[in-house]
Amino acid sequence: MRYETVRRVTNVASLAFCGLLAATAVLPLVLVLYHVVRNGASALNLDFFTKLPVPIGESGGGMANALVGSLLLIGAASLVGVPVGVIAGFFLARQLSGRFAFWVRFAADVLSGVPSIVVGVVAYELIVVPMKGFSALSGALALALIMIPTVVRTTEEMVKLVPYTLYEAALAVGAPEWRATVFVFLRGARAGIITGIMLAMARIAGETAPLLFTAFNNQFWSVSLTQPISSLPVQIFNYAMSPYDEWHRLAWAACLVLVVLVLGMSVITRMVTRGKYEIIQ
């Protein structure tokens, strides 16, 4: 064979092989979604959203308490995580250089890379140990720590998109810096910041590891911050590792709810920010 032909064949074969690898990379998402939808949809009914878990052996029951628990945990985590994250993000967007800004950015990066289970251990040491018991509060704090770096990063990126000249215009007509900041940057970046927050909330909705020994679990109704509380992901874990088919069905249903929530948020965010916000930072 002529050398030229070898080169041409190698070219086509290699590129085709890359195409095959790309198809392989998409396959897991298709498979995971297929199984979650197929197994989850058949187990999902009104009882799932309205009933409490039932004891082993009885059929039926739902995850109403876990749903409410997850919402409560996310809400409480956001109360702490959102203000801190947005404020720090604003700081970074306005303070692009300097030693302090470097350390803040570095800290946000470090926090975003810390395994969530390690954050759980820290929340345990900080809150569960002094309070002498598992509590929704400690779980919420762990989730807040996990959401802060995401909120910081999105806020920074979104504020940077607002034209600086608008800010200068506000200063020129006599606004103090803080009013110019609030009315130009915050208003201009509002939609982006809110979607970033929603995405962070969706992300912590799926977090399991940090809740295992902070919020723990609860088979009953509880909306108290000082008591252990149930959550969807922890309930999925417990039910998945149990030997009962009925519990496996419920776990699949909960998986479907979680996946719809998290992937739905990611897709909406992508559409709202028109691809400016990347899932992977």
Partner 1 sequence: MSAGEAVYVRPRPAFVLSDRVANSILAAGAASVVGLAVLLGVVLSLGAAPALSKFGAGFLVGKTWDPVAEHFGALPFIYGTLASSFLALLMAVPVGLGAAIFLAEVLPQWLARPIAFMIELLAAVPSVVYGMWGVFVAVPAIARVEEFIGQRWGHIPLFSGPPIGIGMLAAGVILAIMVLPFIASISREAILAVPRAQAEAALALGATKWETIRGPLLRYARKGILGGIVLALGRALGETMAVTMVIGNVPQISVSLFQSGYTMSAVLANEFAEATGRIHTAALVEIALVLLVLTVLVNAFARLLIWGTAAHAGEERV
Strand spans (E) along 125-193: none
Check residue 273 for interaction with partner 1 (CB under 8 A): no
Q: How far apart are CA 259 and CA 265, in angstroms?
A: 10
Question: 64, 71, 101, 198: which one contacts partner 1 (CB under 8 A)?
Answer: 101
Question: Which window, 42-50, 55-63, 65-73, 198-206, contacts partner 1 (CB under 8 A)?
Answer: 198-206
Buried b (16+ CB within 10 A) or exposed e, 93-132: bbeeeeeeeeebbeebeebeeeebeebbbbbbeebbeeee
70 touches 231 (CB < 8 A): yes
Nearer to partner 1, 54 or 240 (CB): 240
Nearer to partner 1, 119 or 189 (CB): 119
User: In whole angstroms, how close is the CB of 30 to partner 1 at the nearest point?
Assistant: 8
78 touches 150 (CB < 8 A): no
153 touches 112 (CB < 8 A): yes
Check residue 186 for interaction with partner 1 (CB under 8 A): no
User: In whole angstroms, how close is the CB of 126 to partner 1 at the nearest point?
Assistant: 6
Residue 77, φ and ψ in degrees, nearest 5: -65, -40
Nearer to partner 1, 168 or 177 (CB): 177
Q: How far apart are CA 107 and CA 91, in angstroms?
A: 14
Q: What share of the chain is helix, strand, coil (3-state, %, to 5)?
A: 75, 0, 25
Nearer to partner 1, 28 or 57 (CB): 28
Check residue 7 for interaction with partner 1 (CB under 8 A): yes
Check residue 237 for interaction with partner 1 (CB under 8 A): yes
Report 9-38 residues binding partner 1 (CB under 8 A). Answer: 10-11, 14-15, 17-22, 24-26, 28-29, 31-32, 35-36
CA torsion sign, 222 to 225 to 227 to 228?
positive
Check residue 119 for interaction with partner 1 (CB under 8 A): yes
Q: Taking Cα atoms as reference points, which of 6, 4, 25 lies closest to residue 14?
A: 6
Check residue 187 for interaction with partner 1 (CB under 8 A): no
Check residue 152 for interaction with partner 1 (CB under 8 A): yes
Total binding residues for partner 1 by CB under 8 A? 95
Check residue 160 for interaction with partner 1 (CB under 8 A): no
Q: Tokens 């995405």 belong to which residue?
A: 199
Check residue 216 for interaction with partner 1 (CB under 8 A): yes
Nearer to partner 1, 24 or 97 (CB): 24
Residue 223, φ and ψ in degrees, nearest 5: -125, 15
Question: 103, 164, 220, 244: which one contacts partner 1 (CB under 8 A)?
Answer: 103
Q: Taking Cα atoms as reference points, which of 227, 177, 258 lies closest to residue 72?
A: 227
Question: 197, 201, 250, 251: which one contacts partner 1 (CB under 8 A)?
Answer: 251
Check residue 79 for interaction with partner 1 (CB under 8 A): no
Check residue 114 for interaction with partner 1 (CB under 8 A): yes
Question: 46, 55, 57, 178: which one contacts partner 1 (CB under 8 A)?
Answer: 178
Nearer to partner 1, 79 or 110 (CB): 110
